[in-house]
Amino acid sequence: MIAWPPLRGRLSESELAGLAWVQAKIGNSQTQRLVWLASLPRRVGKRALAPELVKAGVATLNLGAWRAADVAAAVEFIEASLGEAALVELWDHGDQEERRMVGRSVCLGLGDLATPLLWDRAHRQNDQILFEATFLDSDHLARLADDEVWARAVLKAAFLNLDLARLYGFERRLPDTLQECLADFAAERRAAGRPVWPGTYAIAMLGENPRLLTLLTADRRSTDPTTQAQIADATRLAESVR
Amino acid sequence: MKIFEPHAHMVSRVTDDYERMRDSGVRVVLEPAFWLGQPRTSVGSFVDYFDTLLGWERFRAAGFGIHHVCTLGLNPREANDDRVNAGVVELLPRYLEKNGVVGVGEIGLDDMTAKEERWFLAQLVLAKEHDLPALVHTPHRNKRQGFLRCLDIIRDSGIRMDRVLLDHGNEETVKITRETGVWQGFSIYPHTKMDPPRMVAILRQYGVERMIINSACDWGVSDPLSVRKTADLMAEAEFGVGDIDRLVWGNPVQFFSETGRGTEAEWSTPPASTLGATHAGNSFLRGQSVETWGKRA
């Protein structure tokens, strides 16, 4: 878990003042947290943080995907030592902003037992903003999810056309079943005349699925500049994680 | 023309309405929590209703390029119902700081009972505590007395008069309210309450200052384009563009943004489209692709 002083250090004086205002309203009461947490984006703001890979215990995360309000919420959760029930309650009774803040904090390892419940909530909500906040930009999912949760998350990322590189640690989690599912998905897309998810190429390069390799070989011969650019990107990604 | 529609019960409307509203100039729609046509029997029904206004309906509106904001509250009819009144008012603080909530409403009086008055006052106090404006429903029967009683309770609550929008006004109530400092709302209905020609006559007499018009469209016979139709009639009556813009955009933006729950800049920019996306696994395209939907006849 990131100790709170460095996380606080990512906030400006005015952002810290906004956080202090909300924390004063909350005190140490979960009932008040359910009321006032929603005001953090207004009080602290939504400034995007600069890209920065951070080690949080054994986890790696990119603060560039976070906003000031997300940091402020994480500080509040850490300082209040929130556990499973409290985090899930905040999600269940939260608006999209509150859920986004809770989702971002999942990778910090807060209330570890809450992680599978929150993954389930975020997956079923099927809201791209919440999916990205909860699943992407850290290796938390790759380290802790079981194969079923992991496969569902990767397939959802493919369905939403999200960047595979944001699923940190994906190269360590390429079971045969997942590769088969991605080959099926690519075949469906091709049959419908729609583009294949670009992440498919990097997985083909790192895995050993014959259908994915056939697809990759065929597309390498394509004259379509978009396909060529996607394969070049996939090659760079595969080499960077190999 | 940009329109802020400050009173529309969109959960009762279909996607065609959203399309027509967007095409008529609506950029923001405000949905006040209200009565569903029959009484609710438990507080849980309000929880799901409030969550719908903050979740699904906001998502649905964004699909048509319209910002959706809401006011939340216990409506005066159900303020009389002891199965829900205390529980809903107890629940409200949990919702009033949420993003997309720009006021407390619709609250107020309907039959002018003691229970209505008690919960109206309690919710005005909540509006003060959460620094929110109040959208006030006024009685359809005995309207003059209803307005006077509403004003008494508003004064008792201590809320700033300019944080209050007294809705469903007419030619008689405007005489009562214009000197009080409250904002005056008029619901333009096809056959009742107020129609476009009468509204234009009121505006000609009193001007557009602190005036707000709305369609109050809901599950009944009502017209979600009535704000635009009134604006068009104003143009025919040779009102200036500035007055029309102030009435249908500037005034509601000013009233509902003053406490920092939104800005004109934010509302002037269309929300990110949710067309083709899903919410809780649900899409309003019903399996059509965005491309197919866009090419429909």
Residues A154, A172, single domain; the answer is yes
Shortest CA gap A36–chain B (Å): 6
Residues A227, A112, single domain; the answer is no
| pLDDT score for A108 | 87
Residues A160, A102, single domain; the answer is no
Q: Count of domains in chain A? A: 2
Please name the residue of chain A whose CA is at the shortest distance from the CA of residue B95: A35
ipTM: 0.75
Q: What CA–CA distance (Å, rounded) separates B91 from B71?
A: 14
Residues A218, A158, single domain; the answer is yes
Residues A152, A232, single domain; the answer is yes
| pLDDT score for B279 | 63
Last residue of a domain, one of A138, A162, A178: A138
Q: What CA–CA distance (Å, rounded) separates B103 from B132?
A: 5
Last residue of a domain, one of A138, A167, A190: A138
Q: Summarize pLDDT for B216-258 with one digit per residue, the tens.
A: 999 998 999 999 999 999 999 999 999 999 999 999 999 999 9
Residues A54, A164, single domain; the answer is no
Cβ distance B280 to A98 less than 8 Å, yes or no, reads no
* CATH number of the domain encompassing residue B187: 3.20.20.140
Q: What is the mean pLDDT of chain B?
A: 92
* Residue A2 predicted with pLDDT over 90: no
Residues A155, A220, single domain; the answer is yes
Query: Chain centroid to CA B166: how far?
Result: 11
Residues A233, A134, single domain; the answer is no
**Which sign does the torsion angle of CA A36, A40, A41, A45 carry?**
positive
User: Which domain range does residue A125 map to?
Assistant: 1-138
Q: Summarize pLDDT for A180-205 with one digit per residue, the tens.
A: 999 999 999 999 999 999 999 999 99
Q: Is A122 helix (H, G, I), strand (E, B) or coil?
A: helix
Cβ distance A125 to B96 less than 8 Å, yes or no, reads no
Q: Which amino acid is at A86?
A: A
**B9-32 CB burial, b ≥16 within 10 A, e <16:** bbbbbeeebbebbbebbbbbbbbb
User: Token pair for residue A82?
Assistant: 């929130």
Residues A123, A215, single domain; the answer is no
Query: What does residue A68 show for φ and ψ, rounded to 5 degrees?
Result: -55, -40
Kindly give, in sequence order, each residue whose CB lies less than 8 Å from that of residue A147, ignoring residues fewer than 6 positions away. Answer: A173, A175, A177, A178
Residues A47, A91, single domain; the answer is yes
Residues A129, A186, single domain; the answer is no
Structure letter (DSSP) for residue B273: P
Shortest CA gap A110–chain B (Å): 23
Shortest CA distance to B231 belongs to which of B270, B255, B199?
A: B199
Cβ distance A125 to B280 less than 8 Å, yes or no, reads yes
User: Token pair for residue B210?
Assistant: 């602190």
Which of A34, A42, A124 is opposite residue B94, by nearest beta carbon? A34
Cα end-to-end span (Å), chain B: 26
Shortest CA gap B193–chain A (Å): 35
Last residue of a domain, one of A121, A138, A155: A138
User: Which domain range does residue B262 map to?
Assistant: 3-294
Q: Count of domains in chain B? A: 1
